[in-house]
């Protein structure tokens, strides 16, 4: 049963950071929510707060999106709930180390969480969205998906996958009423960097808050922009870097990253 005015939105990785900011904003706008992640206590606390403050329905769906049976269960929930209004494929993590020094299992899990889960949940959501003639899918990629850097090769590749997947899908979905976006944030203040033990020496003006990322994403969705790089400075940085010859770009990015 929907309580909000806007229908159901499902957000993965809603227990913290950018996913939590999406959940808060969508609840505030009147969407009922299904929130997905592994840290159930955080999800439950968020759910009761948003039910109370926004008057929407919030379902907690605990899932480890590196596990196929959990992804299948979330996909099944999407099929049961009816046409989703919004799907945000946001769950993700990084390891920030040389590829050959990283634990292979963690790199494989990354492919599951970032790519396999996104493909699976998008497939589950699209049928209803297309038949309903509306819906939005936001795939949270990264600036790293546009400009790959060292010490993150698998992460960057999984994020580039999300950009290409979103762009291809966008073209297929022309005329259906369904919108797709690859959201490519740069450095954003969340637990993401601390969780991998990396202290970034990036000047404060180059950081965004999760709320700024969500604002930029939803405005870009309204404008029909398929690839969204939040922040004017970040957008300029990406445009300039992509205009450079690759060897020069690699040299500059090495300076930024270590």
Ligand X SMILES: NC(=O)c1ccc[n+]([C@@H]2O[C@H](COP(=O)([O-])OP(=O)(O)OC[C@H]3O[C@@H](n4cnc5c(N)ncnc54)[C@H](OP(=O)(O)O)[C@@H]3O)[C@@H](O)[C@H]2O)c1
Cα distance between residue 256 and residue 225, in whole Å:
27
Count CA within 13 A, CB hemisphere, residue 98: 2
Nearer to ligand X, 21 or 84 (CB): 21
For the CB of residue 171, give the shortest distance to ligand X in the complex, in Å.
Answer: 23
- Token pair belonging to 70: 């959990």
Cα 116 from chain centroid? 13
38 binds ligand X (CB under 6 A): yes
- Report CA torsion sign: 54, 60, 66, 71: negative
- Confirm whether 155 is a catalytic residue: yes
Site for ligand X in 2-31 (CB under 6 A): 13-19
List, in sequence order, every residue forming a beta bridge with 59; answer none if it has no partner. 34
Q: How far is the CB of 109 from ligand X (least distance, A)?
A: 6
In the three-class reduction of DSSP (H, G, I as helix; E, B as strand; rest coil), residue 76 is classed as helix
Q: How far is the CB of 11 from ligand X (least distance, A)?
A: 9
> Is residue 231 close enough to count as binding ligand X by CB under 6 A?
no
Nearer to ligand X, 176 or 209 (CB): 209
Q: Extract the runs of DSSP E, i.e. beta strands, from the chain.
A: 8-12, 32-37, 58-62, 84-89, 135-140, 178-183, 227-228
Nearest CB to ligand X, comparing residues 105 and 171: 105
Q: Which is nearer to ligand X, 14 or 218 (CB)?
A: 14
Catalytic machinery residues? 155
- Please report, as ranges, the residues that interact with ligand X according to CB under 6 A: 13-19, 37-39, 63-66, 90-93, 113, 140, 142, 185, 187-188, 190-192, 195
């Amino acid at each position: 049963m929907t309580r909000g005015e806007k229908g159901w939105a499902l957000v993965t990785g809603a227990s913290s950071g950018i996913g939590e900011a999406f959940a808060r904003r969508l609840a505030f706008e009147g969407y009922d929510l299904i929130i997905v992640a592994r840290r159930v206590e955080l999800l439950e606390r968020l759910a009761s707060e948003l039910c109370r403050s926004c008057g929407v329905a919030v379902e907690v769906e605990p899932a480890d999106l590196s596990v196929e049976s959990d992804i299948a269960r979330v996909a099944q929930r999407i099929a049961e709930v009816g046409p989703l209004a919004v799907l945000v494929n946001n769950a993700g993590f990084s390891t920030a180390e040389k590829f050959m020094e990283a634990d292979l299992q963690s790199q494989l899990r990354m492919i599951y969480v970032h790519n396999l889960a996104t493909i699976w949940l998008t497939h589950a959501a699209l049928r209803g969205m297309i038949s309903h003639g509306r819906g939005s899918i936001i795939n949270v990629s990264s600036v790293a998906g546009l400009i790959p850097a060292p010490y993150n090769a698998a992460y960057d590749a999984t994020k580039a996958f999300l950009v290409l997947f979103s762009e291809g899908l966008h073209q297929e979905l022309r005329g259906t009423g369904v919108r797709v976006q690859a959201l490519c944030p740069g450095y954003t203040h969340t637990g993401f960097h601390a969780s991998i033990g990396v202290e970034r020496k990036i000047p404060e003006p180059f950081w965004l808050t999760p709320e700024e990322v969500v604002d930029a994403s939803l405005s870009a969705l309204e404008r029909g922009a398929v690839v969204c790089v939040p922040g004017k400075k970040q957008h300029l940085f990406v445009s300039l870097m992509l205009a450079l010859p690759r060897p020069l770009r690699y040299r500059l990015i090495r300076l930024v990253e270590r």
